[in-house]
Amino acid sequence: MELSIQIKKYRTELHLSQEELAEKVYVTRQTISNWENEKSYPDIHSLLLLSSLFNVSLDQLIKGDIEKMKEIISEQEIKKFNYYGSIYTVHLAVLIISAVPLFMWLGRYAYIPFGILFIITQYWALKVEKLKKKNDIQTYKEIVAFTEGKNWMNFIRQLKWENVLIKIY
């Protein structure tokens, strides 16, 4: 991450040793070493002290890290969405395909396994819907854009806002 590079850069610019910086930020020298070697990450209090000491904004100090974190979170959300969607699709297909054979073989006793399959399928459908709501995905285009890792949300919101303005005028 870039924060480790930033800390080391600003520390050397101020001609501070790790020990001296540690005293000013109220941590140990090992903690500074861990930050610079990407073994740990400073808490918010330490980040505020560092930004004040280095005379840079907090945003400037951690800018690269925020972008990387957003990418990692976005990738995780996309993987989770695709995973849940795949499981839901398989369960839905099994549910639909198994309905007729189950009722032909088991008669009215088929309601039990069919009900269990239905509940499991609904569970995965709810997981997918929860992710859609969390990531503000509403239309098919948004779903496709999200699964491809594109950020169409801002574009779509902008289009919706432009349509509102057009209707007003």
Q: If you average pLDDT over residues 66-79, what whole number do you get?
A: 67
pLDDT of residue 165: 47
Distance CA 63, CA 70 (A): 11
Distance CA 156, CA 17 (A): 50
For tokens 């000013």, the residue is: 24
Q: Is the distance from CB of 90 to CB of 121 less than 8 angstroms?
A: no
Closest CA to 104 of 90, 114, 117: 114
Higher pLDDT, 29 or 167: 29
Distance CA 96, CA 163 (A): 40
Q: Is the pLDDT of residue 161 over 60?
A: no
Provide the 8-state DSSP code for 14: T
Higher pLDDT, 105 or 57: 105
| Structure confidence at residue 27 as a pLDDT band (50, 70, 90) | very high
pLDDT of residue 62: 74
111 token code pair: 């309601």
Where are the strands (E) in 16-148, listed by range? none
Distance CA 89, CA 49 (A): 50
Q: Is the pLDDT of residue 63 over 50?
A: yes
Helix, strand and coil in the chain, % to nearest 5: 85, 0, 15
| Structure confidence at residue 43 as a pLDDT band (50, 70, 90) | confident
What SS3 state is found at 47? helix
